[in-house]
Amino acid sequence: MGKVFVAALAAAAATAFAAAPGYAAVFDDFNRPDAADLGSNWTQVADSSFISGNQAGGGIQALATYNGTEGATSVSMDVALTANGFGYVGGVLGWGSAFNYFVKVQGRDGAFLNYAFYTGNNGDGDYFTLKEGFSTGRITVTVAGSVVTLDIVPDAGAAQSYSHDYGTAFSGGLAGLALYQGGRADNFGTDGAVGGGGVPEPATWALLVLGFGAAGATMRRRRAALAA
DSSP state of 200: P
Q: Is the pLDDT of residue 3 over 50?
A: no
Reference 155, options 102, 211, 78, 53; nearest CA is 78
With bands split at pLDDT 50, 70 and 90, how would you rate the model's confidence at 4? Answer: very low
Cα(124)–Cα(195) distance, rounded to whole angstroms?
33
What is the CB neighbour count within 10 angstroms for residue 127? 11
Q: Is the pLDDT of residue 106 over 50?
A: yes
- The model's pTM is 0.77
Mean model confidence pLDDT for the chain: 84
Helix, strand or coil for residue 158?
Answer: coil
pLDDT tens string 25-64: 999 999 999 999 999 999 999 999 999 999 999 999 999 9
The Cα angle at residue 109 between residues 107 and 115, in degrees rounded to 5: 10
Task: Select the more confidently predicted residue: 137 or 192.
Answer: 137
In the chain, where does DSSP find H-type helix? 2-19, 202-227
pLDDT tens string 179-225: 999 999 999 999 976 664 444 434 434 444 555 555 555 555 554 54
pLDDT value at residue 222: 53
